[in-house]
Amino acid sequence: MADSSIGKPALIDRRRFLAIAGTGAAAALVGCDSFGSRRLEPALSLAQRGNERVERLLFRHRSEDRIPGRARLTGDAFPQYFVSDSVPMWDEATRGPWRLEVSGAVKRPLALSLEDLQKLPRVAQSVDHYCVEGWTARAQWIGVRVSELARAAGITNDAQYVDFQSFDDDYHESWDIDSAMQHQKLVAYSMDDR
Amino acid sequence: MTALTKRTHWIVRITHWVTVIALPLMIASGLRIFNAYPAFARKGETFCCYPFANKSIPAALTFGGWLAGARHWHFAVMWILVVNAIVYLGFLYLHGEWRELAPRRGDAHRAWEMIEFYLFARQEHPRQGKHNALQKVAYFAMPIVAAVIVVSGVAIWKPVQLRWLTMLFGGFVWARYVHFMAMIVLVLLVLVHVFMVFAVDPYALRSMITGWYDADQSPEARNARPFYHLLPRRTAHDVTAPNEVEG
């Protein structure tokens, strides 16, 4: 299929070009556009803050996603996402070699090349992926723990959220720090041995 | 003269109308979340039991605008509905009104009599208490279905942390399916309920708003089927004993 030949390199590229910023995500989260009356937004964000508190109270973030050893991986049916209209590619000629930037609420901001990343302790795991959209899929991932990157960058105590930024049309996604530091959270550079 | 009695407690009335507002918001925002992946199959696999896979729910039935907006609403309104349900069920329990809804021996027979009556296989409206046997089934089932929706919702909220709960439903895919199908059941119960209010007992609207109900206009007193004997009945004591009020 024509799709897979375009999709495969692009998938790896998108995952490569992640940047982590420790702060600023809180504002972005609260600023999330909600539908309905503007006057109701304070109520919605109140509920959201309340829900975050409930989650922190209920869960210790030690839970692990375990799947049976014989479980079949999803393979090519694993959804691939692009925000831009065309497949995003990193143009080294104009933007220089790609690096993963880790900045924000850290003592030592990092700029890691793919080789630097691969030198860090590598973790391989097959996990269920539960997407916020409602689908699930399984894949084997190899990469570096987000907590490892945070340790390397010297995360400060006031860090509350992690914002993952893609070069793909400014796509970004953020997470609370407890979820991001859970040991199964990877910045992956390989999927299903590709 | 009428036989007005206080029938619906203010707690029941308030929780009822809170549900009328909050439940559509909850369902519509849930349908918008569903539209982000309007299917149940694990990626790369097939699912047995949903013939409309990958067909979006019409936008007019959804609320929240986009996935994140709908999630904001879904996770905010859920608290209103949960607190509302606790107040309602707590009241039913403490006030003893659960007795009017709990199944009793003979209810199946009485429900059958109601069906016979609605199908014109029986002339007289069966004797009933506050609710007829079919209403009892519906009002008793609603909180149970709602509880299934809440628990399956919790299961798909945290499938990793609450893995045991998700597994109780047969895994994430099935928990999501149960969450969806239980919603469909609840919607059907609500649609029948609303239809019957207008087609059989519009006088119940008054009691759900003010609490007062005219027992002389009950479906049993009017011998009312859907769209039959809808109008107020001229009672015997309208003519003969205008001052006589039954207790």
pLDDT at residue A173 tops 80:
yes
What confidence tier does A5 reach under pLDDT thresholds 50, 70, 90? very low
Residues B173, A74: C-beta atoms closer than 8 Å: no
Q: Which of A47, A66, A135 minimises the CB distance to B79?
A: A47
B33 touches chain A (CB under 8 A): yes
**Contact between A77 and B70 using a beta-carbon 8 Å cutoff:** no
Residues 6+ apart with CB under 8 A from B202: B230
pLDDT digits (tens, 9 = 90+) for A84-115: 666 667 777 888 888 899 999 999 999 999 99
Query: What ipTM, to 2 d.p.?
Result: 0.78
Q: What is the spatial distance between Cα B149 and Cα B181, in angstroms, rounded to a whole number?
A: 9
User: pTM of the full predicted structure?
Assistant: 0.85
**Res A29: pLDDT:** 35
* Cβ-contact A163, A172 below 8 angstroms: yes
- In angstroms, the CA A59 to CA A185 distance is 16
Contact at CB, B73 and A44, closer than 8 angstroms:
yes
Q: Which two tokens stand for residue A118?
A: 């691969």
Please indicate if any CB of chain A lies within 8 Å of the CB of B24. Answer: no
Q: What is the pLDDT of residue A22?
A: 31
Classify A73-90+97-191 by CATH class.
Answer: alpha beta
User: Looking at residue A165, what is its pLDDT?
Assistant: 87
Place of tokens 């798909």: B156
pLDDT, residue A20, reads 41
In terms of CA atoms, which chain A residue is nearest residue B171?
Answer: A136
User: What's residue A27's pLDDT?
Assistant: 33
Residues of chain A positioned with their CB less than 8 A from the CB of B172: 128, 130, 136
CA–CA separation, A15 and A78 (whole Å): 14
Would residue A75 be called left, alpha or beta, if left means φ above 0 and alpha means ψ between -120 and 50 degrees?
left
Q: Which residues lie closer than 8 Å to A75 by C-beta, 6 or more apart?
A: A139, A192, B44
pLDDT digits (tens, 9 = 90+) for A28-75: 333 344 456 677 888 888 999 999 899 888 887 777 887 776 778 888
* The residue to which tokens 């309208």 are assigned: B238
Q: How far apart are CA B186 and CA B190, in angstroms?
A: 6
Chain A residues at the B interface, defined by Cβ less than 8 Å, are: 32-36, 43-44, 47-48, 50-51, 58-59, 63-66, 74-79, 128, 130-138
Confidence of residue A3 (pLDDT cuts 50, 70, 90): very low
Residues of chain B where predicted confidence (pLDDT) is lower than 50: 240-242, 244-247
Contact across the interface for A131 and B37, Cβ inside 8 Å: yes
The size of chain B, in residues, is: 247
Q: Where are the domains of chain A?
A: 14-56, 73-90+97-191
Would you state the pLDDT for residue A95? Answer: 80
Distances (CA, A) of A156 to A101, A103, A110, B184, B225: 16, 11, 14, 48, 71
Residue with tokens 């991986």: A73
- C-alpha closest to that of B226 among B202, B191, B209, B207: B202
At residue B204, the pLDDT reads 94
Question: What pLDDT, on a 0 to 100 scale, did the predictor assign at position B237?
Answer: 53
DSSP B163-225: HHHHHHTTSHHHHHHHHHHHHHHHHHHHHHHHHHHHHT-THHHHHHHTSEEEGGGSHHHHTPP
Chain B residues whose beta carbon lies within 8 Å of the beta carbon of residue A127: none
Q: Say yes or no for a CB contact (<8 Å) between A135 and B163.
A: no
Give CA–CA dist B155/B165, Å, rounded.
6
Number of inter-chain CB pairs under 8 A, A vs B: 88
Residues B73, B94 contacting (CB under 8 angstroms):
no
B173 touches A at CB < 8 Å: yes
Residue A60 CA to residue A18 CA, distance in Å, equals 26
Task: Please classify residue B11 by burial: count the beta carbons closer than 10 Å to its beta carbon, then call 0-12 exposed, 13-18 middle and 19+ buried.
Answer: middle
3-state secondary structure of A21: strand
